[in-house]
């Protein structure tokens, strides 16, 4: 079997052409605005549940990854999707609060949006730094009972 190298393949140019007319940053901003800069029901990487994650905005989203995909059933394509991955940052230039992180890091986390062919969000995934000074995380109190 021969190895296929896609480093300089025209598929990457085609992907850029497909996504060029889409205002990708506006999609992320619109999604953040539609959820009022909040996530309801969030599990962090340590399996801790948060009832709500609220972002101290303004927040900016920077595209850091993009891909196209196809779902296949019985060897036939059934649907197509676009995956956009954003780095979420506090927009310190627009902030009046003069919040500064201890380590100078303005990164809040990541947002991944999966869009259908009509550019409608069909799935989302959040990876949030709940310790960020730009995030208010409300955790559910422990419901453990002592015997």
Task: With beta carbons less than 8 A apart as the criterion, state whether 90 and 34 touch.
Answer: no
Report d(CA 67, CA 116) in Å as an integer.
12
Any domain includes 111: yes
Any domain includes 14: no
Instruction: State the pLDDT at residue 143.
Output: 45
Query: For each of the chain's 147 residues, which pLDDT tens digit applies?
Result: 566 677 777 877 887 887 888 888 889 999 999 999 999 999 998 899 999 999 986 899 999 998 888 889 998 888 899 999 999 999 887 655 555 545 557 899 999 999 998 889 999 999 999 999 999 999 876 544 344
Q: Provide the residue range defining the domain that includes 133.
A: 24-139
Cα distances from 64 to residues 111, 113, 129, in angstroms, run 10, 12, 17
Any domain includes 17: no
Instruction: State the pLDDT at residue 95.
Output: 54
Q: Is the pTM of this model over 0.85?
A: no
Any domain includes 144: no
Instruction: State the pLDDT at residue 126.
Output: 97
Any domain includes 112: yes
Any domain includes 127: yes
Cα distances from 78 to residues 18, 75, 101, in angstroms, run 20, 9, 46
Any domain includes 83: yes
Any domain includes 76: yes
Instruction: State the pLDDT at residue 97.
Output: 54
- Number of structural domains in the chain: 1
Instruction: State the pLDDT at residue 22.
Output: 80
């Amino acid at each position: 079997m021969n190895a296929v190298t896609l480093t300089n393949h025209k598929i990457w140019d085609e992907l850029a052409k497909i996504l060029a007319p889409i205002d990708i940053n506006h999609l992320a901003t619109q999604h953040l605005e539609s959820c009022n800069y909040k996530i309801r029901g969030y599990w962090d990487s340590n399996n801790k549940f948060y009832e709500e994650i609220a972002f101290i905005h303004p927040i900016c989203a920077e595209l850091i990854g993009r891909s196209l995909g196809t779902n296949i059933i019985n060897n036939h394509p059934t649907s197509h999707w676009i995956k956009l991955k954003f780095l979420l940052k506090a927009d310190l230039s627009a902030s009046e609060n003069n919040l500064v992180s201890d380590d100078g890091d303005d990164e809040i986390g990541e947002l991944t949006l999966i869009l259908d062919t009509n550019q409608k969000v069909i799935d989302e995934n959040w990876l949030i730094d709940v310790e960020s000074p730009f995030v208010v995380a409300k955790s559910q109190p422990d419901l453990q009972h002592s015997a």
